[in-house]
Amino acid sequence: MRVVRCVIVAILCSLAGAATASADEVLVLGIDGKLRAHDDKALPSTTMPVPRRRGGGVATTARTARRRPTVTGALKRLRDAGAITPEAYSARRAAYLDARRTARRLHGTGRREMTAVVRTLEDIAARGKLTASRLNPLWLTLERNLQLWSTGASLGGGQRMEFQGSELVWQYYPGQGLQLQMLGNFGKLNGLWGGQYDARLAAMLDELLPLAAERAGGVAWEYYFTFDGGRPPWVSGMAEGTAVQALARAARRLHRQADVLPVAKRALAIFRERTPTGVRVPSEHGAHYAIYSFAPRLRVINAFIQSLVGLYDYTRWSGDPAGMELFEAAEPEARVETPLYDTGAWSLYARGSTSYESSLSYHELLRGFLAHLCERTKIAVYCTTADHFAAYEHTPPKLTVRPTRLRGGRYGRVRFELSKISTVTLTITRRGRVVESRPFGAVGHGRRSFGWQVPRRRGIYDVRLAATDLAGNASADETTVRVLKPRKKKRP
């Protein structure tokens, strides 16, 4: 399965670090209904993903949601079972029906997005996934979308948002509305801890704790939107590792071990449970912790390493050995996997059915995570790989173009080799005159070729390829192509 390269979030400053995070711009919806740009100094600078949607999209979801159980039916069952009070049932039902009515009254983008959020809730109910512990995050999602789209606002895909009076981070996913971004939220909680914004840290902690849902015999902060074929609710090992790390730090800083650490301890459960309920994937050397609970075969190394750093730090700040047990269950696997992501010139982002190189932000992210794991464990493979990745950021790409002969008047190919992902441009000249010039955009490492509609005029043509890697390092190589006389067409 190929997942969007900008997978669940590239934290440009390390989530694992104790230093303050770099500020990043978000939109804040004020109580007056106006959107204002704001630099949140605790929010890590990120590029959060805008996922692809597969299948029938909203229409398919709508057909699914019309099947039983309905949202109202699910709420009734929770009420009758004593899982929620009659008052909570009435309030939740009224808010859901109001969201449905409002969606029909809106126009354009607001109607489409509000309808999508309602249908996602209906789909979750139709599949029997609407549990009492999921009511808080799902109804908060309804409320925030209703608040936003009723203003007539228009957002760009991937835009992050906050609401006046709240620390929570939201993100706009076109076709799925505004959604809680849990990795972004716990990254921000780390940023508040690192920046010593203790009042805001306490406020955000109080907002996040009620959003945990029962899962895998413990709790988890789930995602409630569709991502690359994964249907909600699903969880991320990277987000949960960051969650237990940030919660343990906040508990110590705020002297709230009594109420926070029991929740963080329950959040360890998904690391014990196999996918798709949890994130554990058994392996020859112990276990791998999956970035997505619905994608056990996808191996994203930055997510795996950060989940380990999170577990290590959880134990460090909480004193709970359960975190170290989970760390030690998977660290030997990480020790084996880590060198496999070193191409000798750059880092790989993912391995699985497809393998591809990291973007610059993910390369830097991975290098930082490895450095943190090196600092904590002193295990050589993490230290040396982090050093390699740091050196690659200053090393020009190696580019070799192979000379060849091509027949004039035909389509031919010229082969070249590239050491790491780079932006490549081509220039072909003959006797100093440019015959062809074009960019290729980003080209991955390995043996490559470019196609050329060869001129009919025979002779020697000079070929120059220039490559600039993602960090801005440049190199070039030149060769010649001997163009042969075109073959005469046979007469009938």
212 burial type by CB count under 10 A (0-12 exposed, 13-18 middle, 19+ buried): buried
Neighbours of 471 (CB within 10 A): 17
HSE of 138 in the Cβ direction (CA atoms, 13 Å)? 27
Q: Which of 211, 193, 201 is nearest to 317 (CA)?
A: 193
Question: What angle, 0 to 180 degrees and rounded to 10, lies between the N-to-C axes of helices 108-126 and 71-80?
Answer: 50
What is the Cα–Cα distance from 150 to 223, expressed in whole angstroms? 24
Neighbours of 89 (CB within 10 A): 18
Report the predicted TM-score, pTM, of the whole model to 2 decimal places.
0.88
Looking at 3.90.550.10, 3.40.50.970, 2.30.30.230, 1.50.10.10, the CATH number of the domain 10-50+157-391 comes to 1.50.10.10
What residues does each domain of the chain span? 10-50+157-391, 400-484
Q: pLDDT tens digits for the chain (492 residues)?
A: 333 333 333 333 334 443 333 456 889 989 888 888 888 878 876 544 544 444 434 444 444 444 568 999 999 999 999 999 999 999 999 999 999 999 999 999 999 999 999 999 999 999 999 999 999 999 999 999 999 999 988 899 999 999 999 999 999 999 999 999 999 999 999 999 999 999 999 999 999 999 999 999 999 999 999 988 899 999 999 999 999 999 999 999 999 999 999 999 999 999 999 999 999 999 999 999 999 999 999 999 999 999 999 999 999 999 999 999 999 999 999 999 999 999 999 999 998 767 889 999 999 999 999 999 999 999 999 999 999 999 999 999 999 999 999 999 999 999 999 999 999 999 999 999 999 999 998 999 999 999 999 999 999 999 999 999 999 999 999 999 999 999 876 665
Report the amino acid identity of residue 350.
A
Q: Are 217 and 273 in contact (CB under 8 A)?
A: yes
Q: Are 232 and 153 in contact (CB under 8 A)?
A: no
* pLDDT for position 52: 46
* pLDDT for position 351: 87
Looking at 2.60.40.10, 3.30.1180.20, 2.40.160.10, 3.40.640.10, the CATH number of the domain 400-484 comes to 2.60.40.10
* pLDDT for position 492: 58
DSSP 8-state symbol, 271:
G
